[in-house]
Amino acid sequence: MGNIIKAQKGTKDILPNEIGSWHMLEQKALEVFTSAGFKEIRTPIFEATELFARGVGDTTDIVNKEMYTFEKSERSLTLRPENTAGVVRAFIENGMSRLSMPVKLWYKGPMFRYERPQAGRQRQFHQVGVEMFGIKEPTADAEVISLAVAYLNAIGLNDLDVEINSLGCPKCREEFSKNLRNALRPYLEKMCPDCQSRFEKNPLRILDCKVPECKEILESEELQNVIAKDYICDECHEHFEKVKSYLNVLNIKYSVNKLLVRGLDYYNRTVFEIKSNNLGSQNAVCGGGRYDSLVGHLGGQDTPAVGFAMGMERLKSLLPETEVKPLTAYVVCDNSEHAFKLVNELREKGISADFDMTCKKFTKQLEKASKIANFACILGEDELSKNEVSVKNMLTSKQITVSRDDVVSAFVQ
Ligand code: HAM
């Protein structure tokens, strides 16, 4: 006998007993996003490596350490670590900039990052997200944040913290980076190797470092003073103030977190995360923000954009356990021919149904019905002789007898 082959580290099977929650997450995404005028887009799982190197940014952990990259026919390809870059590529390639703005897109599907697996962090995971193109006004930022909150509420998650920040534009960010570098320079040797390389390339990312030594430096009074100061220019400031006032109008509670910088290079102005206190260290269920330069940067016509993505495994882990019975009806009968006929009729009428193909005892069949179906359709000798069916609600135990020809009516009890 050969060795048993197991699923790869950081990947998981989604088993039939969990699939109900996944269907719910997907169905609610379709409903909530469609009701706000978003249309689904499905892009390929792999793309040219260059798309992510240029799109997500070559100073990010994702591009430097976490990509699943391989070669085929001398082309370097990468399994998508996120989907903003892919959607932007599709937007440009399919001439969507000619459509009337905004272009509102949503997606769901697997993403791949070579990270150290832990609770809430996998190597293959799933995201559901939206990208909206064409609106530079702060209404778009507020619309996208409120859509994220609406989706979370629709799946039953109400107790989450929305954190927002503004990274400003490249011009004001330069000023902030300069001051940050000046304040951090004396501590450079004590910082982790990642932060040392971030220092020149992207010092803002240091604010997000989880290494205790770096965190301690950031908590010093000197650094806190630099961080607390508002460097963003008047225009960016006004934009952020408007985003906040729209969120107030929409009754969305949020807090401003000046350390929120996000791990991807494409953002400017508004960035946001939605966090749960019930998730341990990997506590972000949603991350997003504005990325006004990405379309132009990837060769398209300059188009402002804003979006978010949520980790579906993290969402699922926050959902209450609900038992969903897979079937509406389970036919209980010791005559396979009659059982077969009734099951087929029910299925034809759109009622999910099954029966015991091994013809076990009635009591065993009823036991099975209570486990997997909402109703038992009992065809005993009595019922067969009178051309009737007894339909038992397995939750309430209420039982009614209906004519065999009228069995469908029983499911509205
Ligand atoms: P992100 O923050 O890298 O943003 O990922 C968004 C969400 O995906 C995270 O908040 C988390 O819930 C989930 N996630 C990320 N990595 C993992 C992992 N290894 N295992 C499980 N869940 C994970 C983006 O991906 C951006 N593309 C979001 C965006 C869209 N920005 C603008 N538009």
pLDDT tens track for 331-365: 999 899 999 999 999 999 999 999 999 988 999 99
Please report, for the chain, the start and end positions of each structural domain, with discontinuous segments joined by +: 16-169+232-317, 327-412
Output the pLDDT for position 412.
59
CA dist 234 and 347 (Å) reads: 64
- Distance in Å, CA 151 to ligand 1 centroid: 16
- Distance in Å, CA 145 to ligand 1 centroid: 15
- Distance in Å, CA 122 to ligand 1 centroid: 11
Averaged pLDDT, 123-131: 98
| pLDDT tops 60 at residue 413 | no
Q: Residue 301: how many CA atoms within 13 Å on its side-chain side?
A: 8
Say whether pTM exceeds 0.85: yes
Distances (CA, A) of 82 to 14, 35, 62, 133, 228: 20, 24, 9, 17, 31
What percentage of the chain exceeds 90 in pLDDT?
78
Decide if 16-169+232-317 and 327-412 have a common fold. Answer: no
Indicate the DSSP class of residue 207: G
Name the CATH architecture for the domain at 327-412: 3-Layer(aba) Sandwich (3.40)
- 16-169+232-317: CATH topology is BirA Bifunctional Protein; domain 2 (3.30.930)
Best mutation site among 111, 130, 163, 315 for ligand 1 pocket (most ligand atoms within 8 Å of CB): 111
In short, whether 86's Cβ falls inside 6 Å of ligand 1 is: no
* CB-based contact 319:18 (threshold 8 Å): no
Averaged pLDDT, 175-187: 91
In short, whether 87's Cβ falls inside 6 Å of ligand 1 is: no
In short, whether 242's Cβ falls inside 6 Å of ligand 1 is: no
- Distance in Å, CA 175 to ligand 1 centroid: 28
- Distance in Å, CA 327 to ligand 1 centroid: 35
pLDDT tens track for 254-269: 999 999 999 898 999 9
- Distance in Å, CA 136 to ligand 1 centroid: 23
In short, whether 329's Cβ falls inside 6 Å of ligand 1 is: no
| Atom 15 of ligand 1, residue of closest alpha carbon | 311
| pLDDT tops 90 at residue 285 | yes
Residue 46: helix, strand or coil by DSSP? strand
- Count other Cβ atoms within 10 Å, centred on residue 205: 22
φ/ψ (deg, to 5) at 41: -125, 140
| pLDDT tops 90 at residue 253 | yes
pLDDT tens track for 192-244: 998 998 898 889 889 988 889 998 998 888 888 888 888 899 999 999 999 99
Q: What mean pLDDT value characterizes the chain?
A: 93
